Amino acid sequence: MSLEKADIEKIAHLARLEIDPGDVPDYARNLSGILELVEQMNQVDTEGVQPMAHPLRMTQRMRADEVTESNQRDKFQQIAPQVEAGLYLVPKVIE
C-alpha cells in the first residue's frame, strides 16, 4: 500500500495533526514503508482465528458505583494553558 500526498493530508486531518507541507513527501515515504512491513501479516491465513484484545484474557473488573474521586479542580487547573473562573478557555466555538 503506497500512500500519496492526499492520503497523508487526509490522515493528518483525521488525527488533528498539522503537518508542514514540506514534510508531506517524507511522511508519505515513511508511512508507505511501514505499511509495506505491516502487509507481511497477509502471509498467514487467519480465517476463523479468535482476535486477541488482551494478553491475559481477563474480563474487566467492576466496582461499586460510589464516588471515589475528590474534586481537585484548582490543583488540576494550575497546569492548564488558559483558565478563567474555573473554566478551561478555548477559542470561540459558537458565533
User: Could you give the dihedral angle defined by the CA atoms of residues 59, 61, 64 and 68, in that order, rounded to the nearest 10 degrees?
Assistant: -140
User: Does residue 59 touch another protein according to CB under 8 A?
Assistant: no
Neighbours of 3 (CB within 10 A): 19
User: Does residue 35 touch another protein according to CB under 8 A?
Assistant: yes
Site for another protein (CB under 8 A): which residue of 21, 65, 75, 84?
A: 75
User: Could you give the dihedral angle defined by the CA atoms of residues 8, 12, 14 and 16, in that order, rounded to the nearest 10 degrees?
Assistant: -170
Site for another protein (CB under 8 A): which residue of 14, 64, 67, 85?
A: 14
User: Does residue 22 touch another protein according to CB under 8 A?
Assistant: no
Q: Cβ(51)–Cβ(41) under 8 Å?
A: no
Residues found near another protein in the complex (CB under 8 A)? 3, 7-8, 11-20, 23, 27, 30-31, 33-44, 46, 49-56, 58, 60-61, 63, 72, 75-76, 78-82, 88, 90-93
